Amino acid sequence: MDWQPGRRKCEYSPRVILFPLAPDPEQQRIRELFQRLGEVSDPVTLLELKAELRHLLTAYAPLQKPSPRQLRVIEMVALGLKNREIAENLGTTEQVVKNHLHKIYAKIRIENRLKLALWYEEQVYEGKLQRHPDLLSKP
């Protein structure tokens, strides 16, 4: 780009950019997929690349921490309460509880209530979460 009136001329100093000697194979594959997305025009190949990229990005993304409301739902599931009972305790509908559970499953990458309860117990055991004593007193 040539210099134009009204623009400042910028000089870039050469810098040494250090990269790890052996990048993770997953990170390398993600980079390759992003490069290929710009090069490919076939719709079927594009869909395949996007699907693989989506899988890699979600599989290696850091876990998100559940919100306080979601933690209360998790605690009640770990106590063995049903969706209806959780809804009564929270003052919401059963559908809202189902929505919370769907979002929780996606956040911490688990598939069912049993694994959710086991995840919660593991977090409590490791000291990452604390039980709320007011939930233990309810039947």
Q: How confident is the model at residue 5 (pLDDT cuts 50, 70, 90)?
A: low
Residue 2: pLDDT above 60?
A: no
pLDDT, mean over the chain: 81
- Residues 49-67 have a mean pLDDT of 81
Instruction: Write 109-115 long-range contacts (CB < 8 A, 24+).
Output: 109/63, 113/77
* Cβ neighbourhood burial of 123 (10 Å; 0-12, 13-18, 19+): middle
Tell which wins on pLDDT, 3 or 49: 49
* CATH class of the domain comprising 68-136: mainly alpha
Every domain range in the chain assigned CATH 1.10.10.10: 68-136
Nearest-5° Cα angle at 77, 76 to 80: 95
If phi > 0 it is left, if psi is from -120 to 50 it is alpha, else beta; for residue 137 that is alpha
